[in-house]
Amino acid sequence: MAAYDVEDIKGNLLLDSTTLNTGGTATVDSTNSIDCTGKAWAKIFIDIGSIAGGGSLSALALLASSTSGGTYSLVSGGDLATSNTLSKANIENKQLCINVRLTGKNPFLKVRATTAAAVNSVITQIYAISGGSQTVPPASTGFTYTVNV
């Protein structure tokens, strides 16, 4: 098991509590990004709150840019909805994780959440940590869904 120096790890809140529904906000990009310049890996944690009956997320995707104020684009393989059903039964009040190996990727990261439902889906928060001394993120256990990109 690799040791991680706490001084090497950086964290940032990407999005505070928000409610999604197609009658109002159907898609939201995280308000903040995390600057992973000089880091080897990042972990994005998504805390899902309550979801009304029939609610779901149709996308929960990692975005990256070469600069903090630049254009953010979807990272290939970084959408949790591609390989998982993000329905109320599967994700309500759960925590999801995106592990990112930063080699060859743009260093500024955000997350985009989208719902196709007209009922409320609450994202409690999205936060991220990044580190540079190891090439692989620390192991992820205890999450409902994890995707590695």
Query: Considering the entire predicted model, what is its pTM?
Result: 0.84
| Residue 87 DSSP code | B
- Predicted confidence at residue 1, as pLDDT, reads 39
CA distance 99 to 138: 9
Percent of the chain's residues with pLDDT above 70: 85
Is the pLDDT confidence value at 134 over 90?
Answer: no
pLDDT band at 141, cuts 50/70/90?
Answer: low
Task: Choose between 107 and 142: higher pLDDT.
Answer: 107
3-state SS assignment for residue 7: helix
- Predicted confidence at residue 3, as pLDDT, reads 47
pLDDT tens, 21-60?
877 778 899 999 999 988 888 889 999 999 888 888 888 8
pLDDT tens, 77-108?
888 888 788 888 888 899 988 888 888 889 99
Q: Is 10 exposed, middle or buried (0-12, 13-18, 19+ CB in 10 A)?
A: middle
Tokens found for residue 134: 């190891």
The mean pLDDT of 116-132, rounded to a whole number, is 85
Phi, psi (degrees; rounded to nearest 5) at 8: -85, -10
> Amino acid letter at 4?
Y
